[in-house]
Structure 1
Amino acid sequence: MTPITLSTSWRHGRPLLLAGLALALAACASSRGLQPQGALRDVDSLHSERTLADATLGAAGFPARDWWTALGDPQLDALISEGLASHPSLEAADARLRQARSQVGGARADQLPNLSVSGGYTGLRLPESMLGDEAGGHYAGSGQVAFNFSYGVDLWGGKRATWEAAVDSAHAAAIDAQAARLNLSANITQAYAGLAYAWQLHDVAAEELARSQKALQLTGQRRAAGIDSDLQVRQAEARVPAAQQQLQAAQQQIDEGRTALAALVGQGPDRGLQIERPRHLDPLALQLPGVLPSALLGRRPDIVAARWRVEAAGRQIDAAKAKFYPSLNLTALAGVVAPNVGDLLQSSSTFAYIGPALSLPIFDGGRLRAGLDSKDADYDLAVASYNQRLLDALHEVADQVNAVRSLQQQAQSQQQAVDTARAAHGLAEQRYRAGIGGYLDVLTAQSTLLQAQQRLAGLQSQQVLSSIRLSQALGGGFDPTADDSRRAASLSDSSHS
């Protein structure tokens, strides 16, 4: 009988091993046919040259980081500083940033080996009725100290791709935190402009009340002289409470504007009582950068954050693909064990174990393909979000440029209408005093003047708001180069902590 040796076993078993390996590779999970469908929109394909042709262009057309200071109101500057220091929305954005940075650290840790130490004592006594006199009825104990080592080798770069995706997501979260501050600044500025508008309406209502009271006094004198009847007096009397109601409505709008600002700076309603009347706000004088629309890609925080999320989604696809390939895990265990603690340092008490393991997914019911398909869909969603934000950015800039241009012309025309209405009211009042004109002419001229003044106040307020919104549409002073080094340093610290 021929003895079976190791070489004989290998010679006969090698074909079977190779056949089994080939069968495993043929049957293993495959990512064939799965790929994302989304494509980033080329900004040069979104033409805006004709729409923005009449806009003022300049090399430094983007707003400054503290663009609201151009409005020239120190109270507004103080409110924005207060809001940036204490508003809860900023605390939430910072918390989300810390979450993203912690995920960077976790992904970095997955790339590194794990080493731990454990120790303990084990004691055991079994009954004689189970094992007899020789083994039962005796107590035996042992102490042990062991070092555990494990390392999942990143053969295909999947773990690195996961870490890079976490870094990209953290970049996006950092920009989101900056965008939250820019949006809060813009919201406070818009609310402040709304408060200024409420005070304008208050002035218009106060002037209307004074005119109405003056007209009532005049009609009373004319009735006493027998020139006018009670009809004219009643008509004049009706104008006074109407003007008072408009004054009260304007005061309500002022109070609501103050409480809104108090909330925006992160304080209670009583903080609004300390807010004084804003100074006269002129529209911001803005220029558009001559490199639109491509320059928006780097100056709009929402677009920059969306681009980082596209990068992160692409890295997640790479990580999902790596799961289709074989994985190698190294495990080692070494330590000492002895019945007595004093014997743990003897060489006879040492033990060691090493166990490299190679695994290959063969059949998982389609779980890996479903996971990769999901990551492809996440990438498509990120691309769609980026493309939509790009369209929205150009739309917002174009709308506000058109609004600033049109409102300036409308305000100039409306100022002429106010001047004309004021002159007409003065003439009607003079004719009425002289007895050659009727009170109906005065009422008509007064109503026309009131409406013209209210319309002018609204247009002037819209001018200011449009210039604020244009600043926001142009990025609100966001400068990615100013924060890149700080973000890189913080991400490096989190990845090595």
Structure 2
Amino acid sequence: MNRLPEFARRRMPAVAAAVAALALAGCADMAHIDSHAKLRDADSLGLSAAPAAPAVDSQWWLGFGDAQLNAMIDQALQGNPNLQVARARLARARASTAIAEAGGKPQIDGALDLTRQKFSGNYIYPAPLGGSIQETGTLQLNAGWELDFFGKNRTAIEAAIGSANAAAADADATRILLASNVARGYFQWARLADQLAVAKRTLAQREETLKLVRDRVSAGLDTRLELRQSEGGLPQARQQIEALGEQIALAQHALDALVAKPNATQGLAPPALGGIRPIALQPTIPVDLLGRRADIAAARWRVEAATSDVANAKTQFYPNINLVAFAGFSSIGFDTLVKSGSQQWGVGPAIRLPIFEGGRLRANLRGKAADLDAAIESYNASVLDAVREVADQVASAQSVARQQAEQRDAQSAAEAAYDIAVQRYGAGLGNYLNVLTAETSVLAQRREAVELAARALDTQVGLARALGGGWQPATSFTAAAGTTSTPHP
């Protein structure tokens, strides 16, 4: 029992010296291979002086007060295939982390080999073994443990953890995007339903006007020119109703696909823009925007993973040090395989160092450094897009509110002018061209009112998503030590 430690003690100085020499030899080849990209931070984006802003609620869509919308988003979050794909990718990434973690632990496997073979009479085997046919067997356990002196396994685990956390953030970002797409599709349906109501109201109005013109023609107060002008407006109104019906069907099909349930909207009442409450969102770019968005967190985790990949590529230049051992039985003849005389065992270190690899290791390191540069610049692009997206939504929300105020005044004036034109025409004080002109203005304002109301809701959805959609940096997946916080953007 004492022979193995004594054996190890006698050889450890030589082994340590060899490891040190080989390590120094391996370090020299990594020179001048580094990443050059730099991460953008809040200060470089001017966010450090931004005001504080309340966080968006994680179920922000409840603020619209529409039970149908809430049910559809719940359905989508449960069954949408794209979200399930994101979750499957997360499970795969976590499995990869477990695989990487297993690489740093001792490995033990068993082997049983049974062979019937003819031994060569002209080889190393003397007679009577040479030239005979024998049965050979080996039964043994093999063990190996890679000693992680230079961080090869550790950096591989860290890279896998970064990828797993990026996948988790991607799944959250997919969830937020899905909820916003359902809300936007629902409001598109509401917009088209309101436009259809305007088109039907227009048709009814033109039918009433046609009746008035016919009465005036019968009384000899108008000619067939006014009658034909009035009749021409009816097919146009019917065509618009039919076109809107087609668009509504397509919008419903899109919603059905998002909730992953065919005909999900068939039994629902068409939504109306007037029945949807606006949600209150502070129209500013918050100082902590980069920490509120799952897509930015995912990009940051990819930078972490790429950084660990670079560190792992550098460890490839150092020696691989393993402790290997085996113990078991080996014999000629199956009947003696498990007898005491067939026992065999071995133990010792195994050291491997690449000396000449034709530039493979340097090329691999350059590739990993380039991947890190790409990850950093992708993160920077995500950050810039996030700031632009919030700024765009804020500008649109403020502009739409001002446009709605002006449009309401314009519609009131157009409705009043139309009523006056119809009254004057009915009393014989004006011509039909004045009625048509006034009607055109009224219809344009009614359609514009619907468009602006829909834009206001769509902008609120866009702003909620741009502000992070209520995502909070949750604790992140790790291999063995429980959880850790999401890296600070």
TM-score normalized by the length of structure 1: 0.87
Assess, with a 3 A threshold, how the Cα gap between structure 1 residues 266 and 227 changes in structure 2: closer, same or farther.
same
CA distance in 2, matches of 1:272, 1:24: 67
Alpha carbons 2:390, 2:467 under 8 Å: kept: yes
Among candidates 209, 217, 231, match of residue 215 of structure 1: 209
In structure 2, what is the equivalent of residue 462 of structure 1? 455
In structure 2, what is the equivalent of residue 257 of structure 1? 251
Structure 1 residue 412: deviation in Å? 1.1
1:327-342 mapped onto 2 (5 Å cutoff):
327-339=320-332, 341=334
CA distance in 2, matches of 1:228, 1:448: 23
1:283 aligns with 2:278: yes
Alpha carbons 2:52, 2:286 under 8 Å: kept: no
CA distance in 1, matches of 2:473, 2:264: 34
Structure 1 residue 128: deviation in Å? 8.7
Q: SS at the partner of 1:428?
A: helix
Alpha carbons 2:97, 2:479 under 8 Å: kept: no
Assess, with a 3 A threshold, how the Cα gap between structure 1 residues 296 and 129 changes in structure 2: closer, same or farther.
closer
String of CA shifts for 1:203-245, please: whole Å, max 9, x gaps. Answer: 1111111111011000000000000000000000011111111
Structure 1 residue 201: deviation in Å? 0.5
1:324 aligns with 2:317: yes
Among candidates 180, 183, 198, match of residue 186 of structure 1: 180
Assess, with a 3 A threshold, how the Cα gap between structure 1 residues 216 and 288 changes in structure 2: closer, same or farther.
closer
1:106 aligns with 2:99: yes
CA distance in 2, matches of 1:117, 1:413: 82
Structure 1 residue 391: deviation in Å? 0.8
Assess, with a 3 A threshold, how the Cα gap between structure 1 residues 325 and 127 changes in structure 2: closer, same or farther.
closer
Structure 1 residue 184: deviation in Å? 0.5
Structure 1 residue 417: deviation in Å? 0.7
CA distance in 2, matches of 1:475, 1:99: 25
In structure 2, what is the equivalent of residue 8 of structure 1? none
1:46 aligns with 2:45: yes
In structure 2, what is the equivalent of residue 171 of structure 1? 165
In structure 2, what is the equivalent of residue 10 of structure 1? none
1:55-66 mapped onto 2 (5 Å cutoff):
59=53, 61-66=54-59
What amino acid is the match of 1:86? G
In structure 1, what is the equivalent of residue 231 of structure 2? 237
CA distance in 2, matches of 1:194, 1:226: 47
Q: SS at the partner of 2:170?
A: helix
What amino acid is the match of 2:278? P
1:352 aligns with 2:345: yes
CA distance in 2, matches of 1:258, 1:229: 46
Q: SS at the partner of 2:111?
A: strand
CA distance in 2, matches of 1:240, 1:286: 43
Structure 1 residue 374: deviation in Å? 0.7
Structure 1 residue 439: deviation in Å? 0.6
CA distance in 1, matches of 2:22, 2:301: 41
CA distance in 2, matches of 1:158, 1:390: 31
Structure 1 residue 390: deviation in Å? 0.8
What amino acid is the match of 1:424? A
1:86 aligns with 2:70: no
Aligned-residue Cα RMSD (Å) equals 2.7
CA distance in 2, matches of 1:135, 1:23: 43
Alpha carbons 2:141, 2:326 under 8 Å: kept: yes
Among candidates 379, 396, 399, match of residue 403 of structure 1: 396
In structure 2, what is the equivalent of residue 434 of structure 1? 427
Structure 1 residue 23: deviation in Å? 10
TM-score normalized by the length of structure 2: 0.88
String of CA shifts for 1:79-134, please: whole Å, max 9, x gaps. Answer: 11111111110111111111111110111111112111112323334699999984
Q: SS at the partner of 1:386?
A: helix
Q: SS at the partner of 2:29?
A: coil
CA distance in 1, matches of 2:358, 2:128: 53
Assess, with a 3 A threshold, how the Cα gap between structure 1 residues 276 and 148 changes in structure 2: closer, same or farther.
same
In structure 2, what is the equivalent of residue 153 of structure 1? 147
Alpha carbons 2:187, 2:457 under 8 Å: kept: yes
What amino acid is the match of 1:407? V
Assess, with a 3 A threshold, how the Cα gap between structure 1 residues 446 and 129 changes in structure 2: closer, same or farther.
closer
Structure 2 residue runs without a partner (length 5+): 1-16, 484-489
Assess, with a 3 A threshold, how the Cα gap between structure 1 residues 478 and 489 changes in structure 2: closer, same or farther.
farther
In structure 1, what is the equivalent of residue 472 of structure 2? 479
Percent identical residues: 39
Alpha carbons 1:44, 1:293 under 8 Å: kept: no
CA distance in 2, matches of 1:112, 1:374: 28
Assess, with a 3 A threshold, how the Cα gap between structure 1 residues 447 and 299 changes in structure 2: closer, same or farther.
same
CA distance in 1, matches of 2:26, 2:155: 26
Structure 1 segments of 4+ aligned residues over 6 angstroms from their partners: 21-24, 127-133
CA distance in 2, matches of 1:367, 1:151: 26
Structure 1 residue 22: deviation in Å? 7.1
Structure 1 residue 256: deviation in Å? 1.4
CA distance in 2, matches of 1:23, 1:356: 15
In structure 1, what is the equivalent of residue 415 of structure 2? 422
Assess, with a 3 A threshold, how the Cα gap between structure 1 residues 313 and 58 changes in structure 2: closer, same or farther.
closer
1:388 aligns with 2:394: no
Structure 1 residue 331: deviation in Å? 2.1
CA distance in 2, matches of 1:238, 1:112: 84
Assess, with a 3 A threshold, how the Cα gap between structure 1 residues 264 and 233 changes in structure 2: closer, same or farther.
same
CA distance in 1, matches of 2:289, 2:127: 87
Bigger mean CA offset, 314-323 vs 240-249: 240-249
Alpha carbons 1:29, 1:361 under 8 Å: kept: no
In structure 2, what is the equivalent of residue 206 of structure 1? 200
In structure 1, what is the equivalent of residue 8 of structure 2? none
String of CA shifts for 1:299-330, please: whole Å, max 9, x gaps. Answer: 10011111111111111111011111122122
String of CA shifts for 1:364-391, please: whole Å, max 9, x gaps. Answer: 1111111111111111111101111111
Structure 1 residue 62: deviation in Å? 2.1
